[in-house]
């Protein structure tokens, strides 16, 4: 489950910002929406981010298919990465999508404090909990007719992104706070944990941690899929005896004694 500092309430608004942090939002150089250049990261970090991002987008879209009919008002849902960059946005109507297009809100736009000032995403990033920003409280005029609520999307011990629901400023905001918290938790713990691409990536990280060789990883992947030594032998073009020797080596490195224990290490 999502966890926050137990000494704080579940969500925060502009009034909860300490004076110095509030001032930092006012002093930001944000002047409209920006698409900052992609950071220069080593390949493994970029690959990891891409896999989590793809899993978040797929999971968010699947979740919204299930719950959109229960949202009684027009809305826009933003999904960002951990740096505040929009990965996806889902509009409840074509006219809202047109409004987003005219406002320049699209994939790649960064909603962090540095680039967009005060909004629900940047507030959630700053305070590490659900952020609530109302109409005129937004720095950027693009958001000043909207109320926005944003929750961190937490998985694997860290914040992987943020999910924000935005709706007309004339609507009451209270309903959206538990809603967006549940949305973030469903995306992470109901959807992402079952995402095939992310599961494969996490298994490979475990195998890397045990310093398996390339051949051992190939055998381990098939062994985890409950394939027989004969099947693996035919698939990889090696003898059945070689497969069993590789499995023994994997077991030694992972400190397990059977397939069941091996599988648990990868789950």
pLDDT in tens, 45-95: 788 889 999 999 999 999 999 999 989 999 999 999 999 999 999 999 999
Residue 81 token pair: 């990465």
**Residue from 150, 186, 156, 124 nearest 52 by CA:** 156
Q: According to the model, what pLDDT value does residue 174 have?
A: 87
Is residue 12 classed as helix, strand or coil in its secondary structure?
strand
Q: What is the pLDDT of residues 116-157, one digit of tens each?
A: 999 999 999 999 999 999 999 999 999 999 999 999 999 988
| Percentage of residues of the chain with pLDDT beyond 90 | 76
Lowest-confidence segment of 31-35, 169-173, 192-196, 214-218 by average pLDDT = 31-35
Q: According to the model, what pLDDT value does residue 132 have?
A: 97
Q: In the predicted model, what is the mean pLDDT of the chain?
A: 90
Band (pLDDT 50/70/90 cuts) for residue 41 is low
Any long-range contacts for 201-207 (C-beta under 8 Å, 24+ apart)? 201/48, 201/51, 202/156, 203/266, 206/265, 206/266, 207/266
| Percentage of residues of the chain with pLDDT beyond 70 | 91
Q: According to the model, what pLDDT value does residue 171 have?
A: 93
Q: What is the pLDDT of residues 6-16, one digit of tens each?
A: 455 789 999 99
CA separation for the pair 103, 111 (Å, rounded): 13
DSSP assignment letter at 227: -
Q: According to the model, what pLDDT value does residue 12 have?
A: 92
Q: According to the model, what pLDDT value does residue 150 have?
A: 98
- Among the residues of the chain, which ranges form H helices? 19-26, 43-67, 94-103, 113-116, 120-127, 176-185, 196-209, 214-224, 229-236, 240-254, 259-266
Q: According to the model, what pLDDT value does residue 37 have?
A: 62
Band (pLDDT 50/70/90 cuts) for residue 4 is very low
Q: What is the mean pLDDT of residues 194-221?
A: 92
Record the pTM.
Answer: 0.81
Q: According to the model, what pLDDT value does residue 23 have?
A: 85
Q: What is the mean pLDDT of residues 179-204?
A: 93
């Amino acid at each position: 489950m999502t966890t926050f500092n137990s000494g704080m309430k579940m969500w925060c608004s502009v009034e909860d910002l300490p004076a110095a942090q509030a001032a930092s939002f006012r002093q930001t150089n944000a002047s409209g929406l920006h698409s900052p250049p992609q950071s220069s990261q080593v390949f493994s970090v970029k690959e990891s981010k891409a896999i989590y991002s793809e899993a978040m987008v797929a999971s968010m879209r699947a979740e919204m298919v299930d719950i959109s009919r229960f949202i009684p008002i027009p809305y826009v849902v933003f999904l960002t990465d951990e740096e505040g960059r929009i990965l996806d946005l889902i509009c409840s109507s074509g006219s809202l999508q047109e409004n987003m297009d005219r406002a320049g809100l699209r994939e790649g736009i960064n909603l962090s404090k540095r680039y967009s000032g005060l909004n629900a995403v940047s507030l959630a990033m700053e305070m590490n909990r659900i952020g609530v920003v109302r109409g005129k409280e937004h720095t950027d005029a693009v958001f000043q007719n909207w109320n926005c609520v944003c929750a961190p999307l937490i998985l694997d011990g860290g914040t992987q992104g943020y999910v924000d629901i935005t709706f007309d400023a004339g609507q009451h905001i209270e309903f959206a706070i538990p809603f967006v918290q549940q949305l973030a938790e469903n995306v992470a713990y109901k959807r992402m944990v079952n995402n095939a691409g992310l599961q494969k990536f996490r298994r490979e990280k475990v195998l890397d941690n045990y310093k398996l060789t390339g051949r051992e990883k190939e055998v381990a992947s098939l062994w985890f899929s409950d394939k027989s030594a004969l099947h693996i032998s035919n698939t990889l073009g090696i003898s059945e005896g070689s497969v069993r020797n590789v499995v023994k080596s994997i077991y030694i490195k992972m400190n397990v004694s059977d397939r069941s224990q091996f599988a648990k290490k990868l789950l």
